[in-house]
Amino acid sequence: MKSKNALITGITGQDGVYLADLLLKKNYTVFGTFRRLSTPNFWRLHYLGIDEKINLIPADLIDTSSLYESLKISQPDEVYHLAAQSYVGSSFDQPLTSGEFSGLAVTRMIESIRQYNPSIKFYQASSSEIFGKVSKKSQNENNSFIPQSPYAAAKLYGYWITKMYRDGYDMFASNGILFNHESPIRGLEFVTRKITNGAARIKLGLQKELRLGNLDSFRDWGYAPEYVEGMWKILQHKKPDDFVLATGESHSVREFVDEAFSLLDLDWKKYVKSDKKHYRILEVKTLNGDSTKAKRILKWKAKTKFKELVKKMVTEDLNRWEGWQKGERFPWDATNYIGEDKIIFRTKK
C-alpha cells in the first residue's frame, strides 16, 4: 500500500509536532510549513527527535503563492491546517493580525487546494473559543457561537468558510472543534504551562511569585497527543464533517494551580497572585465540551484525566529546570522567554 503524503501548516507548534510524530508512525511522508523568522523555532521537533524526518517548506499565511507552492512541493493526500495566531490574549493587542492569520488564511489555504487539487482532504483547526459566551452546561456541534475575542471571531470565520467550501465545491473539508489540550511542550504564554513552569521554578528557588489572570475561569483540559489522533480520525472518516473533541470535564484555573503546587509540596496561596493586568477584555467564564459525536462515529475519546495531565506537565518542567541548574542544554523554550511582567498589555480603558 502506497504511503500517504500529509502537509501540516504550523508544524513547529505543539499540535503540529505531535501530529507529525503520529503520522510518521503511520508511515506517512510528512511535510510541514514554517514561517521564516530571525530566530528559528524548531525546538519542539528536536525535543521529540523527529526533526530529521520532516520535510520543511517555508511559507507564510498572508502569501497565497507560497501556500500554493507548498501544495505543489508536497503533493499531499491530506492537509492539516493548524497554523494560526493561536494565543487568545494577544488577539486583543493585535486584532487585525489575528483576523489575517486565524481567519483569512484559512480561505487562502483552502482556495489554493481547490485550484491545485480539490480532491485533497482538508482539516481546519477550529477552537472551543468560538462558543464564547455559553448558555448551556456543555457545548457540542449544535450549539450557537458567541465569540468573545478577535481570535475566536477569526476562528469562527475559518469554521464557516470551511463548511462553505465543503458544501459549495463538494470538497472533503472538516472542522475539528478542539477544546483546550495541553502538554509539556505547550507554549509558555498559555496559562497551563505558565503555571507548571512557574511552580517548578518556585520549587527550585528560581522564582518568587507567579502572576496570573482570572483564577475562576473554567476550561475543559485534555492531553494534546490524544487530540491529534482525533484530527487524523476526522480525515479518515468516510465523509467530511465537524467534530468536537473534549474530555467532558471542566476545571478552574484555581484547581489547576492547586494541583500543580500540591505535587511539589507547595502552598500556592503563598506564591500566586491574581493580577487584573492578565484578565481578558472579554472573559469566557466556562467551557465544557461534549464529544459524544466523536465517540460514536470516530470511536475517539480522551483518556488522560485532569490530575494525570497536570502531573505530566509539572514533572517535565521540574526535570528541565533541574537539568538546567546542572548545566544541561537541551531544546526547550523557557530559557529564551521573557517574563510577562515586562510586557504592557491592552486594557479595557
Which residues are annotated as catalytic?
Answer: 127, 129, 151
Residue 174 CA neighbour count, 13 Å, CB half: 25
CA distance 289 to 277: 28
CB 159, CB 244: distance < 8 Å: no
Q: What are 77's three cell numbers?
A: 493526500
Establish how many alpha carbons lie within 13 A of residue 15's alpha carbon, considering only the half-sphere containing its beta carbon: 26
Q: What b/e sequence results for 77-110 when a residue is b if at least 16 CB atoms lie within 10 Å of its CB, and e otherwise?
A: bbbbbbbbbbebbbbbebbeebbbbbbbbbbbbb
Within 8 A by CB and 6+ apart from 264, the residues are 199, 200, 202, 203, 314, 318
SS3 call for 289: strand
Sequence-ordered alpha helix ranges (H) in 204-252: 224-236
How many CA atoms are closer than 13 Å to the CA of 84, on its beta-carbon side?
Answer: 32
Backbone angles phi, psi at 309, to 5 degrees: -60, -50
Residue spans of alpha helices (H) in the chain: 14-25, 43-47, 64-74, 88-93, 95-98, 105-116, 150-169, 191-203, 224-236, 253-263, 292-297, 306-325
Q: Output the furthest CA–CA distance in the chain (Å, rounded).
A: 60
Of the candidates 145, 102, 144, the residue with the CA atom closest to the CA atom of residue 125? 102
H or E segment to which residue 174 belongs: strand 173-178
Q: Are 176 and 222 in contact (CB under 8 A)?
A: no
